[in-house]
Chain A
């Protein structure tokens, strides 16, 4: 008896227990790489017919979709602004914001900013019961019970707060419309929660952000606006940018009510659903540790980027296209006069075949590769460092 109980006491074993049809977890860790890896472990090892809620909050980070280009989606140069001291201090008062991690998640979708005022909720459920709206609707019901009557699910499966004037009585059961829904041309709703999905044969993961009380709303656009956006032509998935807002609810209250709503939806209140806490100790699970380390590799962060072309004008009258495939510079082509050929003859051998993730700082890299050095190449280094920097990933 006591042995049996102990056998099921580990997180992994309880998670995979076929009798656990409805499970609820919350993480005390603020590490985005860890939380995403615990979530992936849940997706891969929970029983095929189970439904699992997982709540977590990350330290400040930018999370991009699986098939996105970090250089065109994220202002990478300011992630470690405080540490590098290369860029002017940002308007971060109050409060000061330090290092911001960059993370490529395994699900699809666009780039989002996370911080301690944002709660991430994720639901893993059977593929046969999955729809893209089902659990966003669950969250909207929770929000409305907490008095947020402007909340609804929009056509992109995100949650928004309508900003229109109260016009009519809306059906409180309709999670896709509110009394404040404005007609086209009216005030744009604020996005407060963004959804993304990962599908496997038997299972579906829906995870989403929830901006409850972010102190950083005013600087989120600075992180999600890249200086390279107009110079990169990328395959893959482009973010759709939306005005964002805070819901303005207490984090603990929201989490508790969401856990209750989830329990009511799946457990029918038959027995009280216990919420289990997870954290750093889950790194002792080999599968979690493996996923955690993979998310922090340069291969996953940089070389997973879909092919793209960066167009530069480093020298007057020269248009230079740098073609990157699987994170490796495949070709450099240039149109233009004067500097054209002799400059290219030096640049091509230095750059073609190079993996971006191994470059480090562009100035140092170019100086080590181009001989004899001409100060004119500093301009190229400046452009590259500005547009496609490769910041070091946090190893925590």
Chain B
């Protein structure tokens, strides 16, 4: 139900300093060989999915599983920083069917409600219930432990999807 009320969420300008944070480049580089191997195997099997974190203009990220059938969704470090202290995370219900562009949850911080959007269609298979107990952990590790939901994926993501480098440039523009 909540999803229908939603519009979008994100982070942009609230703290311009957040944009300048060096972010997880080291981690990114470390991940790349694995990601590229998956790409190569994919090319063989003909799938287009790439196992690398991709970012939306709404400041969510998705990362596909090795078989490309499911993905993990979360909000970016940039978003988590600019929202301020998170006091509540509204998670979707497991088995919820979702369409790209839907709000699948919401975050509340400093009297502000912001929606979490999904760039992919599919079904919610798992939610990170830790966030219900400890919403503040979303500020600490939004791109790791504090993922929001895991989804089975149908079709391609909608809207512009950016690599880490592209996304960092995008947040610095704003």
> B13, B87, B113, B174 — which one has the most chain A CB atoms within 10 A of its CB?
B113
Establish whether residues B112 and A67, one from each chain, have CB atoms under 8 Å apart when the complex forms: no
Chain A hits for B7, CB < 8 A: 43-44, 198, 200-201, 203
Q: Which of B88, B90, B112, B117 contacts A199 (CB 8 A)?
A: B112
- Measured as residues with beta carbon below 8 angstroms from the partner, the interface class of chain A is 35 or more
Establish whether residues A307 and B132, one from each chain, have CB atoms under 8 Å apart when the complex forms: yes
Establish whether residues B111 and A196, one from each chain, have CB atoms under 8 Å apart when the complex forms: yes
Establish whether residues B10 and A108, one from each chain, have CB atoms under 8 Å apart when the complex forms: no
Complexed CA–CA distance, A237 and B35 (Å): 40
Any chain A CB within 8 A of the CB of B27? no
Q: Which of A127, A198, A201 contacts B113 (CB 8 A)?
A: A198
Chain A hits for B93, CB < 8 A: 326
Any chain B CB within 8 A of the CB of A236? yes
Question: Shortest distance in angstroms between B83's beta carbon and chain A's nearest beta carbon?
Answer: 8
Any chain A CB within 8 A of the CB of B12? yes
* Interface size, chain B (Cβ < 8 Å): 30
Question: Shortest distance in angstroms between B113's beta carbon and chain A's nearest beta carbon?
Answer: 4
Stretch at the interface among A14-22, A271-279, A296-304, A375-383: A296-304
Complexed CA–CA distance, A306 and B104 (Å): 15
Any chain A CB within 8 A of the CB of B44? no
Q: Which of B4, B13, B117 contacts A127 (CB 8 A)?
A: B13
Q: Which of B4, B10, B14 contacts A294 (CB 8 A)?
A: B4
User: What per-residue 1/0 map shows which CB atoms of A200-216 lie under 8 Å from chain B?
Assistant: 11110000000000000
A107-B112 contact given A130-B13, A199-B10, A307-B132, CB 8 Å threshold: yes
Complexed CA–CA distance, A299 and B2 (Å): 9
Complexed CA–CA distance, A129 and B13 (Å): 8
Chain A hits for B110, CB < 8 A: 108, 132, 157, 197
Chain A residues 54 to 79 lying within 8 A of chain B, measured CB to CB, are: 65-67
User: What per-residue 1/0 map shows which CB atoms of B84-103 lie under 8 Å from chain A?
Assistant: 00011010010000000000
Establish whether residues B8 and A66, one from each chain, have CB atoms under 8 Å apart when the complex forms: no
Establish whether residues A237 and B112, one from each chain, have CB atoms under 8 Å apart when the complex forms: no
Chain B hits for A128, CB < 8 A: 12-13, 174
Q: 18 A-B contacts, Cβ less than 8 Å apart?
A: A65-B113, A67-B90, A106-B5, A107-B111, A108-B108, A108-B111, A127-B12, A130-B14, A196-B112, A197-B111, A198-B113, A199-B9, A199-B10, A202-B8, A235-B132, A304-B1, A304-B2, A306-B88
Which residues of A are interface residues toward B (Cβ below 8 A)? Answer: 43-44, 65-67, 106-110, 127-132, 156-157, 195-203, 235-237, 291, 294, 297, 299-300, 303-304, 306-307, 326
